[in-house]
């Protein structure tokens, strides 16, 4: 997922199905509640590893990124 600016909400489904999550912004907030974490400020970067088969990579310029169960 790539976006220059704005707010992005991703419904990830079951977090246990993910093996790798990598999310980064230039400025803003990452709410990765589905994976038990959050980051904010300038250049926030969130990573997570699990046993699943899916990979999620998200990169935003400025804004808010939400990774939630859904």
Q: pLDDT for 22-62, tens place per residue?
A: 999 999 999 999 999 999 999 999 999 999 999 999 999 99
Burial of residue 68 (CB within 10 Å: 0-12, 13-18, 19+) is middle
| CA–CA separation, 24 and 6 (whole Å) | 14
Predicted confidence at residue 64, as pLDDT, reads: 96
- pTM for this one? 0.91
Q: Is 17 helix (H, G, I), strand (E, B) or coil?
A: helix
């Amino acid at each position: 997922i790539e976006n220059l600016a704005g707010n992005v909400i991703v419904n990830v489904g079951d977090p246990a199905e993910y093996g790798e999550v990598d999310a980064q912004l230039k400025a803003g907030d990452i709410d990765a509640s589905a994976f038990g974490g959050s980051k904010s400020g300038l250049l926030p970067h969130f990573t997570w590893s699990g046993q699943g088969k899916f990979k999620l990579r998200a990169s935003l310029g400025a804004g808010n990124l939400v990774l939630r169960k859904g």
